[in-house]
Amino acid sequence: MVRSLPFPDMHETTMTDELDNDEARALRATRIIDAVAAIPRGRVASYGAIAARAGYPGRARLIGRVLGDAPNRLDLPWHRVLRADGRIGIPAGTQGFREQCRRLKAEGVTVKDGRVPMSAFGLDHDLDRAIWG
CATH number for the domain that contains residue 35:
1.10.10.10
Q: Give the mean pLDDT of the chain.
A: 84
Q: Is the pTM of this model over 0.95?
A: no
The yes-or-no verdict on residue 80 having pLDDT over 90 is yes
Judge whether residue 1 has pLDDT over 90.
no
Q: Is residue 3 part of a domain?
A: no
Q: What is the CA radius of gyration of the chain?
A: 15
In a domain? residue 110: yes
Domain span at residue 91 reads: 17-132
Instruction: Decide if 86 contacts 110 (C-beta within 8 A).
Output: no
8 within some domain? no
Number of domains in the chain: 1
Q: Where are the alpha helices (DSSP H) in 21-116?
A: 21-37, 47-54, 60-69, 95-106
Residue 12 placed within a domain: no
| C-alpha span between 65 and 70 (Å, rounded) | 9
78 vs 22, more confident: 78
- How far is it, in rounded angstroms, from Cα 51 to Cα 47? 6
pLDDT at res. 129: 59
